Structure 1
């Protein structure tokens, strides 16, 4: 069973016109795990294969919890602790420039994070350096900040996070998002975009089996192709069955 929110309530891959946000089983399961982490103010790691939708899920879960004070950071690869300090300073809308002295800056951040309780979400967390992981451990262990730390990581890169001993004893939930199941494809895709509303279930399942594999990014690429066909051939309705024929051999869509 799926539920649908307002169109474009969160940023869709390829910024698809008329795409709708669909709360899937995977999103609900991730939301349940996040709510538990928020109640306990612990660390959580949300993982998924590339394209399944972990970043989109983060945006959606934050939208569905308007009372949640969320700070979302996307650190550059091999960022330093000072980079995290400065990003937090900006995300918290603190006045002026971050103090150059790390200790003074940390005191400002600690008191700013004392209340209200906040979610600190770090996207692409597998790119964090060991020193940044140690800084997050410092924030987690400090009794003053009321912060739940959510780490988002690609499953193929999960080994990099699990090798950080500072995390293993502090992450209470390692939650993996699964791709769409075949049965869910039949209901999610028509809700996701009107181009799929009149497509028979057999064609949807075949497209998923041959190309998308339950991966929302790949489904967005297929939708983008159908929209392109409609723009180029306005007199001809888009035909999803044509995609099946073109998938022999597999179509080189972006992943």
Structure 2
């Protein structure tokens, strides 16, 4: 089982030219014949951040100097995670024609989803860079921590996408369930509000693993160091999650062509 999935993963990584090209082409085709092209992603995200920032910043009585960078990082990173998981759930289903006709490594289609969303993240991240340049960061020495934090963040998003893709290929109602769960997770995760805002219901944040994931990538960009607990939870999630995802995928890898 592990030998089979290890071979598939190795072949998929070796085919990086294929899944990076396919992922980039999907982004370009989505905005074909548009003068602005993929930067419509940046514009729409910027408008959403500006609108939510003004409305909720006023409701919460917060300074725009602190709230806008917080909100921008939260929304940009959450969007990447949510889209990776949701699109990962459809990865095998949407590529069913290729899977049935050619003996390609299956994890190529998951890597394609992850790469596509990293390209979208790069476009949306322009907003974060602009806000950091305008408002500054409390501690610039914290910024390098964002690199390992992003790696852990995407590793967690990838193993969840792997499981979502495998189970969705077998159970076709699951993509709709995943979309609903992602929407619920958005409201119970501190994205548009600060983690300490719930007070009496702080346990919602403390026991929410997605809150630790968001905090991991958000803290360095607003000049704070992620707590030791956040590092431990997210790294532990990545290790356990990858073991489960690889074992499950390896066990049912040969059945995917029949499911799709």
TM-score of the alignment, normalized to the shorter chain, above 0.5: no
Higher relative contact order (CA 8 A, sep 6+): 2
More strand by share: 1
TM-score class, shorter: under 0.3
Task: Give the structure with higher Rg (CA).
Answer: 1
More helix by share: 2
Q: TM-score, normalised by structure 1?
A: 0.23
